[in-house]
Amino acid sequence: MPELISVIVPIYHVEKYLQQCIESIQNQTYRNLEIILVDDGSDDKCPEICDYYAGNDPRIKVIHKENGGIDSARKAGIMAATGKYVGYVDGDDWIEPEMYEELLEYVHKYDVEVVESGVIDSWSDVEKKRVPYIQEGCYKGEEFIEKVEPRILYAGIFFRHGVFVYLCTKLLLREKVMKYQMISDLTNIIQNDTMVSLPCITETKSLYITHNCYYHYRVRTDSDKRKSKADEVPNFIECYPEFFSRFRGTLLCTDGDKQIMYYAMFYLLEKTPYAFDNLENGDFLVPFGNLKVQDKIVIYGAGATGIHLENYIRSIKETNIVCWADQNYKHLQDSLNVCAPKEITTCNFDYVIIAILRENMYKSAKEDLVVLGVPEDKILWIEQKYIDNPELLLRKVVYQEKTLI
């Protein structure tokens, strides 16, 4: 019999997208699948949809449980899984038909324990492929230590992972990923991809990377990734030491390696731009040069970083966002108050903050703004001193007298 692959699907409030997700797994060219649908206490029509598909496909198992979040759902799924290999698909995403057949072929051809692939960011009518930063190829043992470990979490360009942190772009040995998936602590709850997938890979030191893209990530402005959580900073401070323990014995835990610091800076910049500020001391938007609360600000970029930045600035009295622009404004206007970049030039502003955390995309955005007529000295991004040394910025993170580092 061909090897069984268990596909775990955490499901919560995604009834609008669930049919496409399930059918994309059912229609895989590799047929020996165990499809585990984990209804995480969803109070919409998701439970009924799961049961309907289970009644028509013996490969489908359904778990109905109380709501506990994505980590809880993934735990329930992997505990029920019996396959030699495991894959993950989120309930609002979908996959290409040949995904698991081709990933398993790489496993056999190169005798590896994990296969990584690319991702397709999918809007309603636009798609964009992204591939891992590290070149396609097989990395095992010493070659893994030499070529992957030094850039797995931070590839040397702000901000690129060497390997995607997502569980969903991978095929993994169930017994290997289970070790990190089943850890019950706060780290798994707030870092439910990064601190499961990458420690698993660094432990196995057995990886094949393909730049083929199979996984469709549905870009949604209302996804959890874009929601602010009040306890994000204290939770991150509590979890930060655990990041090092999960990579114990690897280059990431040596004194000269700053990958975990860079990751922490990136995460906090995206999710909690307020983490570095002390408004009582006049520190406002410190990573971008420490502005005045009264400055008239344009935000350029409406991805997760832009949404969190806009929420933070608007939460402070006396602040003034005069414009929020994004190149993809046509796809975002139904849910966000964004406009076309050209409208920036009609506004009276002090600074334009580029709310994009990919350095190459920042540079491209800056060039576009200059072409529009925005003065370079009014365009702000993360200050270079923090890019050069993330510790300078991380030392500013304090919550109730607890520091990050």
Residue 123: HSE in the Cβ half-sphere, 13 Å Cα cutoff? 13
What token pair was written down for 230? 């009040």
3-state secondary structure (DSSP) of residue 16: helix
What token pair was written down for 186? 């706060």
The predicted pLDDT at position 224 comes to 64
What's the predicted TM-score (pTM) here? 0.95
Q: Which residues of 334-353 are buried (b: 16+ CB within 10 A; e: fewer)?
A: eebebbebeebeeeebebbb
3-state secondary structure (DSSP) of residue 26: helix
Sign of CA dihedral 286, 291, 294, 299: negative
60-65 and 85-88 beta bridge pairing: unpaired
Q: How far apart are CA 307 and CA 317, in angstroms?
A: 18
Q: How far apart are CA 133 and CA 67, in angstroms?
A: 35
The predicted pLDDT at position 230 comes to 80
The one-letter code for the residue type at 373 is G
List, in sequence order, every beta strand (DSSP E) within 168-260: 170-173, 206-218
CB 196 within 8 Å of CB 188 = yes
Helices (H) and strands (E) in the chain, counts: 15, 16
The predicted pLDDT at position 222 comes to 72
CB proximity list for 329: less than 8 A, separation 6 or greater: 302, 338, 339, 340, 341
Q: How far apart are CA 346 and CA 362, in angstroms?
A: 22
Cα 66 versus chain centre, distance: 25
CB proximity list for 340: less than 8 A, separation 6 or greater: 325, 329
pLDDT by 10s per residue, the chain, length 405 = 789 999 999 999 999 999 999 999 999 999 999 999 999 999 999 999 999 999 999 999 999 999 999 999 999 999 999 999 999 999 999 999 999 999 999 999 999 999 999 999 998 888 999 999 999 999 999 999 999 999 999 999 999 999 999 999 999 999 999 999 999 999 999 999 999 999 999 999 999 999 999 999 998 877 665 566 789 999 999 999 999 999 999 999 999 999 999 999 999 999 999 999 999 999 999 999 999 999 999 999 999 999 999 999 999 999 999 999 999 898 887 789 999 999 999 999 999 999 999 999 999 999 999 999 999 999 999 999 999 999 999 999 999 999 999
CB 269 within 8 Å of CB 382 = yes
CB 280 within 8 Å of CB 232 = no
The one-letter code for the residue type at 315 is S
The predicted pLDDT at position 126 comes to 85
